């Protein structure tokens, strides 16, 4: 019996016990639109509509259309409904994505009224977009004169996506993947950069954008996906009423075909821009990529995932062992592994930190390892361990990054996009069971290695070498293109460019009538912050806090030790001690044996540190070391034994392994700068205010990266390595002797049994916790950090107050108020940055302004100050304050996974942030008014007291030095 709306027909359905959901697939009778509904007992409802988008060039048409479609629709003809709804909503997620072959518009909310509001706006935005030419100019690209009204000044390209992609393509891993795809896919849409290549984006015309919209944004080409406790028929009634009844079937089918296969492997070389004062030596990437099977064939896809796991899961896996230990490069490539996001699976392996002339040798080494696997196979225990990892990944209930429902939807979306079995991608238990039987054949992995890799001629070897003049040449090419365009401009065209600039500026300044958009208000906020209760019991002389949670057959446990007194040098080494701890040998087992042990019994095992200030004193800083593990419930005893061995039997004598790990860490940290530049700039700007802020910068920030580079340079000698190993051992002795307690999360009927198993970890302690009130000398910061980036990341920071101070709540609301009312318009819309805003971090007592992938520097820093003048001098409405309050409360109430919620509750309590404290802060947030915002801005945000940090590239260096920022090199 179908529960569908009359406009839809049920295609198929399935109960997926391992996920605790019921999945239904429907088809819209008239247009053929798909609707996949994942029914779950979960009040965080999720919606996504995806369109198959298959661009045939790199102008970024699908990406620019994603942005432009959200700039106004028939029912909501306002300039910016997407960003306006973000602040009129209690959403737990709102975004839009452009992938290589689909564009998706997802959101999630726990509030039914809010969900209905967002669904109405999203459906209209996608199917009835206005596509105003000025929005195309703002979001995509446009020409402007550098001096807007002076046609004799030079021409420049502007546009949000244009600058976003300049930033995105500053990432070496993005360039590596895009270049490899270009050759792996010579004929299909993946050959092109769906986000847009900066040099190609200006070639896209408005007419081409509109044509792409008309051919792709149609229900016949759409996949609707929903998750949660709202029935499918209720969703379908809205789809039909708001959109679908207005459409006839589309007379064409948009799809990605299978790629033509090479008859012999292809070897290519390209370049990437790198300006590095340390030189270009050993900065080359060498990767090998194979095109495998169809992603919609579940058995083929899972077999490929298993093969990838067997070859690459851990340091003892045959291929990963080679990539980590070969002297041809410094570390494995960031692309290593299996990609299943496209029509056909891609398997990649390779190295970075190499030289082009080593490519032949690396390729031969890889093929030799694969030949050995194909000849001799792999021990059953290793294959079973990799299959165990697949099962664990399938069972785990996520939701700590994206909403859990959205994770499931994105898993199924690949199948739906290519008209395959979307439900099958979620319901993999039967295929896993089949694989369990197949791997009993010792030839199974051997034969798959030969068939899928060794005999597969569709293989590309890419050498990506650095070029320190490439950025300069690209800038020169762009200037030449612009100069050539300018010589061809008629007087009328020059006037049109000036007119467009003025029309856009006027449109950006225009105050739209937001009242036509639906909203929720403070009255819709639930009165109580969601609460998760744990139970404290004794474990010997130690405290164990345990939480009952629906973990779908997994257990999570942590050993939590108060950080003892460390020297400043030891504090700098703590992150690397934590990383090395679970990656080296234990007792009589070397690190390779330990890696296999971990893969057999655990889903994850790693150490990390956390620290927080006191809720009422920013100078009081306490911290903890945490050894965290998760496993299937049947392996809890084995997980505990592994954790005990990790603490009691770790050995730091595998010196080459330690060096290898730190080289890998350095490579990842360097690659992460341009993706996380705004956070790094904020950390740098905040570092002078207190010890907590400084330690953020000195470990996880840019100063930490510089220190890591220096540390790695010292590992070239045996003495340097031995010294570091000795320091790790000294840190470990202190951690072992520190007072400890435990966290346990699992299903209720197993908690007592799990608790008993933890007893061996409850050793006595002999060291006290570190002094939480160590002195700190404050300093003013004006820094310019140089990185390999084509865009800027700007930040200003001000010292403020801790969480329980009465001004903490107004400061939290102020960030959203300034972003919504001023910064979004000036930094993103007018300035062309991908993003910008402000926020308050009560843990370090700092208010920060930031911009992300920003073509400007001085103007943005001035905009930060101008936002404060705007607050003080302009007239504002109470509803603007309400919108900012909704944003803060939405973030506070955002749910995580069941295990994630329990961890959050435990660690909040650990640092005095009890439910009652957080509830009181939330209450104060809901009562903030406009006068509060003006008062705290005047009290704390005096521009002369700001600290400033900018992350930029070689092209931004001169502008930064003119602002008297002190140059800091990584």
β partners of residue 792: 854
Cα 572 to chain centroid, rounded: 25
Active site residue 139: yes
Pick from 622, 626, 624: nearest CA to 613 = 622
DSSP, res 821: I
Per-residue tokens: 632: 């299937």
For 585-612, letters b (16+ CB in 10 Å) and e give: bbeebbbbebbbbbbbbbbebbbebebb
- The CA-based dihedral angle spanning residues 290, 295, 300, 301, taken in that order and rounded to the nearest 10 degrees: 80
Distance between CA atoms of 709 and 702, rounded to whole angstroms? 11
Per-residue tokens: 654: 């595998």
- The terminus-to-terminus CA distance of the chain in angstroms comes to 64
Per-residue tokens: 402: 């994206």
- Nearest-5° Cα angle at 247, 242 to 248: 155
Cα 532 to chain centroid, rounded: 26
φ and ψ of 613, to 5 deg: -80, 165
φ and ψ of 195, to 5 deg: -75, -25
Distance between CA atoms of 479 and 484, rounded to whole angstroms? 8
Distance between CA atoms of 591 and 658, rounded to whole angstroms? 10
Distance between CA atoms of 55 and 199, rounded to whole angstroms? 16
Number of other residues whose CB lies within 10 A of the CB of residue 293: 15
Secondary element (H or E) of residue 172: helix 172-184
Per annotation, catalytic residue among 66, 164, 391, 396: 66
Q: Which stretches of 17-133 are assigned E, i.e. beta strand?
A: 21-28, 34-39, 45-52, 93-94, 97-98, 102-109
Distance between CA atoms of 367 and 20, rounded to whole angstroms? 42
- Nearest-5° Cα angle at 844, 843 to 845: 95
Active site residue 654: no
Distance between CA atoms of 812 and 847, rounded to whole angstroms? 8
Secondary element (H or E) of residue 356: none
Distance between CA atoms of 610 and 906, rounded to whole angstroms? 13
Pick from 93, 14, 25: nearest CA to 407 = 93
Per annotation, catalytic residue among 24, 44, 139, 583: 139
Distance between CA atoms of 163 and 442, rounded to whole angstroms? 52
Asked if 76 contacts 517 with a C-beta cutoff of 8 angstroms, the reply is yes
φ and ψ of 210, to 5 deg: -65, -40
Give residue for tokens 């069941």: 898
Residue partners of 142: CB distance under 8 A and separation at least 6: 157, 158, 159, 500, 501, 504
Distance between CA atoms of 449 and 292, rounded to whole angstroms? 11
Distance between CA atoms of 909 and 895, rounded to whole angstroms? 17
Per-residue tokens: 22: 């019921």
Pick from 593, 588, 563, 598: nearest CA to 577 = 563
Asked if 580 contacts 661 with a C-beta cutoff of 8 angstroms, the reply is yes
Distance between CA atoms of 303 and 292, rounded to whole angstroms? 11
For 461-480, letters b (16+ CB in 10 Å) and e give: bbbbbbbeeebeeeeeeeee
Per the rule left: phi > 0, alpha: psi between -120 and 50, beta: everything else, 702 is alpha
DSSP, res 697: I
Q: Which residues are catalytic?
A: 66, 139
């Amino acid at each position: 019996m179908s529960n569908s709306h009359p406009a839809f027909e049920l295609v198929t359905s399935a109960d997926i016990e391992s996920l605790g959901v019921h999945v239904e697939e429907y088809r819209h009778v008239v247009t053929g639109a798909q609707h996949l509904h994942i029914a779950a007992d979960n009040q965080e409802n999720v919606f996504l509509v995806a369109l198959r988008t298959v661009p045939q060039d790199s102008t970024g048409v699908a990406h620019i259309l994603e942005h432009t479609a959200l700039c106004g629709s028939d029912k909501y003809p306002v300039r910016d409904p997407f960003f306006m709804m973000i602040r009129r909503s209690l959403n737990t997620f709102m975004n839009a994505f452009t992938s290589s072959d689909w564009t998706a518009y997802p959101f999630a909310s726990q509030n039914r009224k809010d969900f209905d509001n967002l669904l109405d706006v999203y459906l209209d935005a996608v199917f009835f977009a206005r596509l105003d030419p000025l929005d195309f100019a703002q979001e995509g690209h446009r020409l402007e004169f550098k001096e807007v009204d002076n046609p004799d000044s030079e021409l420049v390209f502007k546009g949000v996506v244009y600058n976003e992609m300049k930033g995105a393509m500053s990432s070496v891993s993005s360039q590596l993947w895009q270049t490899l795809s270009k050759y792996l896919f010579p004929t299909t849409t993946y050959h092109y950069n769906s986000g847009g290549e900066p040099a190609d984006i200006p070639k896209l015309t408005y007419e081409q954008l509109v044509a792409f919209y008309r051919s792709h944004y149609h229900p016949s080409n759409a996949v609707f996906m929903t998750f949660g406790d709202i029935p499918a028929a209720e969703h379908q009634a809205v789809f039909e009423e708001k959109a679908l009844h207005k459409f006839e079937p589309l007379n064409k089918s948009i799809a990605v075909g299978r790629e033509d296969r090479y008859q012999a492997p292809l070897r290519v070389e390209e370049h990437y821009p790198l300006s590095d004062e340390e030189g270009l030596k050993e900065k080359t990437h060498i990767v090998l990529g194979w095109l495998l099977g169809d992603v919609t064939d579940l058995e083929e896809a899972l077999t490929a995932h298993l093969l990838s796991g067997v070859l690459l899961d851990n340091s003892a896996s045959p291929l990963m062992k080679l990539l980590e230990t070969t002297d041809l490069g410094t570390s494995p490539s960031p692309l290593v592994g299996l990609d299943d996001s496209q029509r056909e699976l891609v398997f990649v392996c390779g190295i970075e930190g190499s030289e082009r002339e080593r490519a032949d040798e690396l390729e031969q080494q890889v093929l030799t390892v694969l030949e050995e696997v194909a000849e001799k196979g792999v021990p059953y225990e290793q294959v079973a361990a990799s299959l165990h990892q697949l099962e664990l990944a399938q069972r785990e209930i996520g939701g700590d990054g994206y909403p859990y429902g959205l994770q499931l939807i994105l898993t199924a979306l690949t199948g739906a996009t290519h008209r395959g079995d979307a439900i099958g991608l979620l319901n993999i238990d039967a295929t896993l069971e089949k694989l369990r039987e197949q791997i009993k054949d010792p030839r199974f992995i051997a034969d798959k290695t030969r068939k899928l890799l060794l005999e597969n001629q569709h293989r590309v070897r890419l050498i990506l070498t650095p070029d320190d003049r490439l950025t300069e040449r690209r800038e020169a090419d762009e200037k030449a293109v612009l100069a050539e365009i300018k010589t061809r401009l008629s007087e009328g065209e020059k006037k049109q460019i000036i007119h467009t600039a003025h029309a856009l500026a006027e449109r950006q300044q225009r105050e739209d009538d937001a009242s036509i958009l639906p909203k929720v208000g403070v009255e819709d906020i639930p009165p109580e912050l969601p609460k998760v209760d744990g139970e404290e019991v004794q474990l010997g002389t130690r405290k164990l806090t345990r939480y009952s949670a629906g973990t779908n057959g997994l257990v999570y446990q942590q050993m939590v030790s108060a950080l003892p007194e460390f020297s400043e040098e030891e504090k700098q080494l703590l992150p690397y001690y934590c990383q090395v701890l679970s990656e080296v040998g234990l007792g009589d087992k070397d690190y390779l044996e330990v890696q296999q042990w971990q893969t057999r019994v655990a889903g994850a095992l790693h150490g990390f540190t956390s620290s927080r200030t006191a809720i009422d004193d920013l100078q009081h800083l306490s911290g903890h070391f945490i050894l965290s593990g998760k496993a299937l419930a049947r392996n809890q005893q084995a997980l505990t034994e592994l954790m005990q061995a990790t603490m009691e039997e770790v050995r730091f004598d595998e010196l080459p392994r330690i060096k290898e790990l730190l080289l890998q860490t350095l490579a990842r940290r360097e690659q992460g700068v341009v993706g996380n530049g705004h956070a790094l700039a904020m950390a740098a700007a905040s570092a002078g205010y207190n010890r907590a802020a400084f330690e953020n910068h000195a470990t996880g920030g840019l100063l930490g990266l510089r220190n890591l580079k220096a540390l790695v340079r010292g590992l070239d000698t045996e003495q340097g390595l031995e010294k570091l190993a000795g320091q790790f051992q000294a840190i470990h002795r202190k951690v072992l002797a520190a007072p400890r307690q435990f966290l346990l999360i699992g299903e209720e009927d197993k908690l007592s049994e799990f608790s008993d198993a933890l007893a061996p970890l409850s050793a006595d302690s002999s060291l006290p916790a570190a002094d939480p009130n160590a002195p700190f000398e404050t300093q003013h910061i004006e820094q310019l950090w140089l990185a390999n980036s084509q865009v800027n990341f700007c930040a200003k920071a001000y010292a403020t107050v801790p969480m329980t101070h009465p001004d903490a709540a107004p400061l939290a609301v102020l960030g959203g108020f300034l972003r919504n009312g001023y910064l979004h318009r000036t930094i993103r819309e007018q300035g062309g940055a991908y993003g910008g805003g402000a926020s308050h971090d009560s843990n370090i007592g700092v208010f920060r302004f930031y911009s992300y992938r920003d073509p400007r520097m001085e103007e943005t820093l001035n905009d930060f100050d101008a936002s404060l003048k705007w607050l003080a001098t302009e007239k504002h409405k109470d509803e603007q304050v309400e919108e900012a309050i909704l944003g803060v409360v939405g973030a506070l109430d955002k749910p995580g996974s069941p295990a994630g919620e329990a961890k959050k509750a435990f660690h909040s309590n650990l640092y005095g942030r009890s439910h009652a404290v957080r509830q009181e802060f939330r209450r104060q947030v809901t009562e903030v008014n406009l006068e509060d915002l003006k008062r705290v801005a005047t009290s704390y945000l005096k521009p002369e007291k700001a600290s400033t940090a900018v992350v930029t590239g070689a092209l931004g260096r001169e502008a930064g030095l003119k602002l008297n920022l002190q140059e800091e090199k990584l």
